Amino acid sequence: MTIKGFVEGGIASIVAGCSTHPLDLIKVRMQLQGETHAPTVHNLRPALASGSVGPPPARIGPIAVGVRIIKQEGVAALYNGVSATVLRQSLYSTTRMGLYDYLKHKWSDQKAGGNMSLSRKIVAGLLAGGVGAAVGNPADLAMVRMQADGRLPPAQRRNYKSVVDAIVRTVKQEGVTSLWRGSSLTVNRAMLVTASQLASYDQVKEEILKKGAMSDGLGTHVTASFVAGFVAAVATNPVDVLKTRVMNMKVEEGGKPPYSGAIDCAVKTVRAEGPMALYKGFIPTISRQGPFTVVLFVTLEEVRKLLKDF
């Protein structure tokens, strides 16, 4: 298996992840709106079980969330967890991008000009996303916790110094297996986002070139990227909300976790906050997915040009 596709995908993913990190942080904060300050068994489960949950607090938009973060925590807080983003992209995105590229070359129909059918693109995306998510889940968990930390009262914050500190302390306090907490959601989300994002980008790009609407240049890459970003955001936002909440929950020593799993989290979220709670953070999600996908694929195309002779 050639490593070229992994290197190209990894470089593009790290650039895209770092450049859109503040938008991702705002998205995570918005997805946690409606939860109590500390989602633990003591202050969440009893209220949900008794049905005594009051009306959720008023939701604020992404701009207001961003302004509040800057006022309360400083501008640098917009990059909380960026070290985890770098590690996550290095593990998760490098794996999914490289594996998808490998499968695309293996499954391409040479009689059809070297293109792969849409169904095969989707299957390749599902496989690549699932494997990538399993590899990158520890970094994903650390990133979510580091991004969410600032919304907690000072006494309840984890205050991780770096992604390494987050992973080490999580293992010491909660065990090694806790690094894969929410992994079923992470894998499902990654399968959806990779299949929708990569497959739709390739498909839209092929259609534009086939119809001669634009040449194979920046305009085509940006157009196909925006479509891919929108499709990915719509497909994955509900899973992303549940993943964020499951990964961020605190488990009291000797107590039961607030959520027993993805389905339990979904039921409690919808029951307490309504069905549209699953689309919390959609505006920052699409606001991030658009730029992220554009930067990802434009960078990828440029890196491919630079490495074409290797």
pLDDT tens track for 162-174: 999 999 999 999 9
Q: Which of 30-34, 141-145, 230-234 has the lowest mean pLDDT?
A: 30-34
Mean pLDDT value across residues 139-145: 90
**Tens digit of each residue's pLDDT (9 = 90 or more) over 269-288:** 999 999 999 998 888 788 87
From CA 156, how far away is CA 72, in angstroms rounded? 16
Higher local confidence (pLDDT), 227 or 38: 227
Report pLDDT for 111: 60
Comparing C-alpha atoms, which of 291, 201, 244, 308 is closest to residue 15? 291
Report pLDDT for 55: 54
Mean pLDDT value across residues 92-103: 94
**Tens digit of each residue's pLDDT (9 = 90 or more) over 190-218:** 999 999 999 999 999 999 999 998 999 99
The encoded tokens of residue 197 equal 């994002």
Higher local confidence (pLDDT), 53 or 247: 247
From CA 3, how far away is CA 55, in angstroms rounded? 52
User: Contact at 8 Å (CB) between 30 and 284?
Assistant: yes
In three-state secondary structure terms, 252 is: coil
Task: Answer whether residue 264 shows pLDDT above 60.
Answer: yes
Which of 3.40.50.10810, 3.40.50.300, 3.40.50.720, 1.50.40.10 is the CATH number of 4-52+61-306?
1.50.40.10
- Read off the pLDDT band of 56 (50, 70, 90): low
Phi and psi dihedrals of 116, rounded to 5? Answer: -110, 140
Report pLDDT for 181: 87
Report pLDDT for 185: 81
Higher local confidence (pLDDT), 308 or 302: 302
Report pLDDT for 52: 46
- Read off the pLDDT band of 150 (50, 70, 90): confident
**Tens digit of each residue's pLDDT (9 = 90 or more) over 2-19:** 788 999 999 999 999 999
Task: Answer whether residue 43 shows pLDDT above 60.
Answer: no
Report pLDDT for 156: 86
- Which own/partner pairs from 65-70 qualify as long-range (CB within 8 Å, at least 24 positions apart)? 65/26, 65/29, 65/30, 65/284, 66/22, 66/26, 69/25, 69/26, 69/29, 69/150
- Please enumerate in sequence order all residues whose Cβ is within 8 A of that of 69, keeping only pairs 6 or more positions apart, or say none: 25, 26, 29, 77, 78, 150
Phi and psi dihedrals of 55, rounded to 5? Answer: -65, 140
Where do the H-state alpha helices sit in the chain? 4-19, 21-31, 45-50, 62-73, 82-88, 94-107, 118-148, 163-174, 183-211, 218-248, 262-273, 282-306
For the chain, give the mean pLDDT.
86
Mean pLDDT value across residues 247-266: 83
